[in-house]
Structures are given as C-alpha cells and as structure tokens.
Amino acid sequence: MTATSMPPPEPLCVDIFWDPEVLAGSALAVVDVLRSINLLAAMRWPRVPAPATWRWLTATGVRRPSALPRGEPFRGTAAIVVVPGWHAKSGPHLDRIVQRCANAMPRLRQAHAANNLVAGLANGVALLGEAGLLSGRAVAVPWPFVASVLRHGEDLQLLSERAWNVDNRVWTCASPVQATEVILDMLGQTPLAELAAATAHVYLYSRERQQVTAQIVQGTHQRILPAGSLERARRWLQEHMTEPYSLAATAQAAATSARTLSRQFAIAHNQSPLDYLHRLRVARARVLLETTYVSVEQVAQMCGYHDVGTFRRIFQRQTQTLPAAYRERYRLRTSRKRWVGDGEIGDA
C-alpha cells in the first residue's frame, strides 16, 4: 500500500543540452528541480520508481563530464527539451556556438512538432531562433544578445518587461537565474504538475510563507514596524490570529475608530480587517497542512477557527479546494509511520 491514495504520475524525461561552454548553473538548476520532485514522489509512493529523469544531449560529439548527475534510464521521447545557454563572450561568439550546435536543431523542431515543450534559457534562445521556433512569437531575450538573437530568428516580438515567457509551448528566458521558475512552469503542463506545484512552494520565495513560518516557530515577529494605525492593526491581527475576531478590539489596539480602520483597510488592502485575518489564517493553515501531521480539526483550532465547518468553507473559498484535498496534493513530508529519525526514511 502506497503512502498516498493518489495514483503515481507517469514517468517523464527532460532532455538537457550539454556543451563545453554551457551555462552549467542553469542546466543544473533544471536537474535540482527534477531531483526534488523525485524526493517528494519517494515520500508519497515509496515503492514506485522515480517519475522524473533527464538525459544529457551533446550536439557536437563532446562527451559530457562524468561528474554530472545522471538520471534514471529512460526510453522514448522526452516531454521537455532545454537549451541552457552558453558562456558567450560576444554576439559573434554566440553565433559560432549556434552554428557549432547545428546538429541539435532537428531535434528541437521534432520535439515541438510532436507537441512537446521546448525552452531556451538566457542566450540559448538563439538556438531556438536558428531552429525556426521563434517566428511570430513573443520572446524574452537577454539584453546583451538581442542583436544576435535577431540574426537567428525572424519576426520576433521582443519582451522588455518580463524575465521569461511562454508562447505556444516555447519558453524563452532573459536570465539564467530564472531557470528554476521556467522549469517549474514547464512541468506544470505535464503529468508532474501537482508535484511541481508542491516543489514550487519550497523553491520560490513567498513573503507570506516566510512570515507565517516565522510566526509558527517564534510565535510573533520581533521586527520593528512603523507606528501607523494601519500597521498597528495588522500587528494586532497577526499576534491575536487564534483569538475570536473583534473589530472594536483591533481598532482600539490601532488607536483609531472602527469606522476609520475599516476605511483604511479598504483603501490599502482592498478588503476588510476580517478578510485580511482570514487570509492570514488560511496562509498559516496551508503551511501546517503541507508540513505537519496534525489533523484538519487541529489545524482549524491552531488557526483560530473553533468550528471546523467554518474553517473548511473559508479555506475552500480562498484556495478552491478543501483542506484534506489540499494536504493530499501539496504535502511536503512522508507519512508519520515511515519516519525513523535522523533524516532517514524506513520501510513501511
């Protein structure tokens, strides 16, 4: 019996181009996400093979370094093909790299024609252009290589206000540091979408989650905040999150009237103080559901809801799913009975 009632996803492979001048950081960022997805899958389905794997492709015949992390053997077509980009000194240098990798272009065209997903990270976008995959598309291009990319692709719509973009199954990225976001977004279009969403909660920065986790661990924030009434009200709601809500008490703590406080909240946050409190409570509940073993009823109590029915209704309104289903989809730990200690996972 598996550690979750959800069926395991179908296996998926990602092809990653390798070259002596490749941007190894962006290539390995893709691998890190896939390895994290496999770790999460192992917690949920201990006896099922890892669902995510990868293959290193070389367009120039150069053998990849043996130190690179190897994926599990995979037969068949990759669902995703990634060009990580290169350490190019100039536009002409990038042009020479693209020509050197000409043998890779048929694979890129075939992958896209087969309805698979293709990504060009940083100046790897140039190879996608040379392969004819960028014509008529909105494209994010690293600023030092705009002219070079335009030489390799025609009829492009350059995006200047987005770090990355997707247009008809083609992802382009203006910076290698966005590789993690791009691969997570790509995986969101595959059978690994739910695992990718749970992994994104760990990998991508969220101010709300940082604050909620600090509150759970430390009880309250110890940072210095402005002394305005609106900020005092927010601090009061955070510090009394589990207590019954009182607009009068909140206004008193903010040294203002209830009417003024409600108006200030509507202007600043486009919601009432109570709605803001519900958002804080649901954010806390999401972290607890993902990372603890406590029951839904206990989570409701820990978030200030003494009626679990009310908690379920408000949680569903904000997340479009019930707490139990949310936990099943996004939990970030193995089952309690499989936890042995010291970071080890034992047999059930």
What's the per-residue H, E or C state across the chain?
CCCCCCCCCCCEEEEEEECCCECHHHHHHHHHHHHHHHHHHHHHCCCCCCCEEEEEEECCCCCCCCCCCCCCCCCCCCCEEEECCECCCCHHHHHHHHHHCHHHHHHHHHHHHCCCEEEEEHHHHHHHHHCCCCCCCEEECCHHHHHHHHHHCCCCEEECCCCEEEECCEEEECCHHHHHHHHHHHHCCCCCHHHHHHHHHHHCCCHHHHHHHHHHHHCCCCCCCCCCHHHHHHHHHHHCCCCCCCHHHHHHHCCCCHHHHHHHHHHHHCCCHHHHHHHHHHHHHHHHHHHCCCCHHHHHHHCCCCCHHHHHHHHHHHHCCCHHHHHHHHCCCCCHHHEEECCEECCC
Of 65-79, 96-110, 234-248, the least confident: 65-79
**pTM of the full structure:** 0.71
Residue 223 has pLDDT above 50, yes or no: no
Residue ranges and CATH numbers for the domains of the chain are 12-203 (3.40.50.880), 207-330 (1.10.10.60)
Give burial (CB, 10 Å; 0-12/13-18/19+) of 204: exposed
pLDDT at 334: 60
153/300 Cα distance (integer angstroms)? 55
- Give residue-wise pLDDT tens across range 260-304: 889 888 888 889 999 999 999 998 898 888 878 889 999 999 999
Distance of CA 108 to the CA centre of its chain: 25
Cβ neighbours of 114 (radius 10 Å): 10
Closest C-alpha to 142, from 113, 173, 181, 165: 173
Per-residue CA distances from 257 to 174, 225, 233, 252, 293 (Å): 49, 21, 11, 7, 41
Q: Quickly state the pLDDT bin for 85 (edges 50, 70, 90).
A: very high
Residue 217 has pLDDT above 70, yes or no: no
Per-residue CA distances from 231 to 266, 269, 335 (Å): 14, 12, 40
Q: Quickly state the pLDDT bin for 186 (edges 50, 70, 90).
A: very high
Distance of CA 119 to the CA centre of its chain: 16
pLDDT at 221: 43
Phi-psi region of 8 (alpha: psi -120 to 50; beta: other; left: phi over 0): beta
- Strands 52-58, 138-140: pairing is unpaired
What percentage of the chain reaches a pLDDT higher than 90?
46
pLDDT at 2: 40
Residue 32 has pLDDT above 80, yes or no: yes
Residue 142 has pLDDT above 70, yes or no: yes
1/85 Cα distance (integer angstroms)? 43
